[in-house]
Amino acid sequence: MSFEDVKKLLTEKFGDGVIVGEQTNGLQPALLINPDDIASVCLELRDNPKTYFDFLSSITGVHYNDDTNRYGVVYHLASIPYKTQLTLKISKPHDKESAALPEFLSINHVYRTADWHEREAYDLLGIYFEGHPDLRRILLPDDWEGFPLRKDYKNAEYYKGIRID
């Protein structure tokens, strides 16, 4: 199934609002999905016999640090039997002054491999995945302050008396 066929399938299933854009200038085209629809879209792409994207290769969190302080998540899906790949992207602005974390829906119930990928995005970027069963740090110590992959992160000089800068 081609990129255009996937777009048509998703639009027919969920309506015109599900795809908010596309990026076709890179090595692998990406569909920009409405963040509220990501779990439903992934479930459809996994269960539909025409697409059967049965493998979640990776999830990557992104801090764009643009005018709206956007955060995003990139999903790399693959269909092993059809030997095809698809990239999905979601993003939304986040208030820099807010103490709340940027929040997206978890797809852990669709792909079990999302468990650790979402934990990594939480740990390093502070992206909260609503519905994740065990969202906690995976790489850094539990008492680490901040999220080191954010563009506005400031390195601490010391951690528990040890110089880290």
Q: What digits encode the pLDDT tens for the residues 72-112? A: 999 999 999 999 999 999 999 999 999 999 999 999 999 99
CA 118-119-124 angle, to 5 degrees, is 100
Please, what are the domains in the chain?
Answer: 3-163 (3.30.460.80)
Give the pLDDT of residue 143: 92
Residue 148 structure tokens: 């080191």
The answer to whether 133 and 127 have CB atoms below 8 angstroms apart is: no
Residue 49 structure tokens: 């016999």
What is the crossing angle of helices 38-47 and 3-14, to 10°? 120
Average pLDDT over residues 35-56: 98
| Distance of alpha carbon 28 from alpha carbon 158, whole angstroms | 41
Which residues have a Cβ under 8 Å from the Cβ of 5 and sit 6 or more positions away?
50
Which residues have a Cβ under 8 Å from the Cβ of 15 and sit 6 or more positions away?
none
